[in-house]
Amino acid sequence: MTGIVSLVPDGQPGLLIAPPGGEELAPYLAAGGYAPVPAPGALLARLAATELRGRGGAGFPAAVKLRAVRDAPGRPVVVANGEEGEPGSVKDRWLLRHRPHLVLDGVRLAAAMTDAGRGCVYVSDVRAEQAVRRALTERPPDLRVDVVRTEHTYVAGEETAVVRRIDGGPALPAAKPPRPFESGVGGAPTLVANVETLARIAVVHSRPDTAAAIARTYLVTLSGTAGEPALVEAPAGTYLKTLADLCGHGRAEAVLLGGLFGGLHGAGWTDLRLDHDGLAAAGGALGCGALHFLHPEDCPVAVAAEAAGYLAAQSARQCGVCVAGTGALAGTLAAVARGEAGDDDTAKLLRWSRQLPGRGACGLLDATARIAATLLAHFPDRVEGHRDTACPACCDAVPHDGRRFAVAVP
């Protein structure tokens, strides 16, 4: 693995700065960590001014979410969500393993801004859990902070699944409303915040002079069947082509955006920039910041079929529309990949990709529909070329276990 690459300008503190053995308490304190919070309201106002957006996938404004939890009736709970469901993302596990004090500092600050009485760190990674427990022992927090372990699945990090698991139930999404900010852990208003979001809050507090730049910088996981995988920290606006060139993906002809959530993008992908709104305007999504590059030898139909098959297998199987919808999308894409699609299968994929989004309890159905929609939009000739024709790349496709998209934590 290429490992860690930082594009952060000189003088700006990045999140990927950590000694090989992990973050130690003394240097973290010396760098301004765990600084007092004399005015939580002022910190919240500063965050709002930076326009920091959540890094879990949806990109929702962090200050708006904090205010909603603070203003809800009851004593809030703050949860650091470190369960990375996307197989192509490693940033949250890296932060928990190597910078646990930074994350716990973010939990402390979020608790101060919301007047929370309890914190939780939610993980599925064993090494991340060990690092967090060690950091809690090194510096016991002012509030109760529990570490809750879950099994790794695609849906286990969805915010209502997080709440259910912390409350002792299964890590499966629940119907909404209420949302966690209204009634979450133990019925209390709950902030479920991504680990990177909390880490950036901590840096904003310790280095207010760099607050705007910190809020506009992203951790991005890069992967592909060729080139090298890497975890990169880059400013918003960085061209995706620049990121690809860093790790030997310059030959790529397409990219799968946002893990499995942002869809496929073909011609013109080199002009796309690292930005929530820009990618959304192009019909994609930044999501968790995972980018999987497709090289000339990769078939986008095979990639779409594998992604849809993986998502269908990861369904919580609680919503009939999700079970039926992901199954139908995955099955039809698999038939296309095998050269066995019927005359009306393309029309079915197009219709389903328009009708199904928004009908499941979580984003899994939406992700599957977007994969089908973007395959049809960006690669119509490749889809048509699979009619009654065996594709070598599709014949050699790996099983639907997410293996193609998986990245090891550096």
- For 173-197, what is each residue's pLDDT tens digit? 998 889 999 999 999 999 999 999 9
**Contact present, 387 and 291 (Cβ < 8 Å):** no
pLDDT of 394: 78
pLDDT band of 79, cuts 50, 70, 90: very high
Among 225, 221, 229, CA closest to 247: 229
Mention every residue, 6+ apart, whose C-beta is less than 8 A from residue 255: 240, 244, 264, 265, 269, 272, 291, 292, 293, 294
Q: Is the pLDDT of residue 392 over 90?
A: no
Write down the pTM of the prediction. 0.95
Q: What is the distance between the alpha carbons of residues 255 and 204, in angstroms, rounded to a whole number?
A: 32
Q: Supply 218's token pair.
A: 């992203």
pLDDT of 340: 86
Q: Is the pLDDT of residue 133 over 80?
A: yes
Mean residue pLDDT of the chain comes to 92
pLDDT band of 118, cuts 50, 70, 90: very high
Q: Is the pLDDT of residue 314 over 60?
A: yes
Mention every residue, 6+ apart, whose C-beta is less than 8 A from residue 305: 330, 333, 334, 336, 337, 394, 397
- For 320-371, what is each residue's pLDDT tens digit? 888 999 999 999 999 999 888 888 999 999 999 999 988 887 888 999 999 9
pLDDT of 2: 60
Helix segments in 338-363, DSSP class H: 345-355
pLDDT of 396: 67
Helices (H) and strands (E) in the chain, counts: 17, 10
Helices 100-114 and 62-71: angle between axes, nearest 10 degrees = 50
Among 329, 290, 287, 288, CA closest to 307: 329
- For 360-381, what is each residue's pLDDT tens digit? 878 889 999 999 999 999 999 9
- For 198-214, what is each residue's pLDDT tens digit? 999 999 999 999 999 99
User: Nearest 10 degrees: CA dihedral of 391, 243, 20, 85?
Assistant: -50
Among 331, 337, 335, CA closest to 392: 337
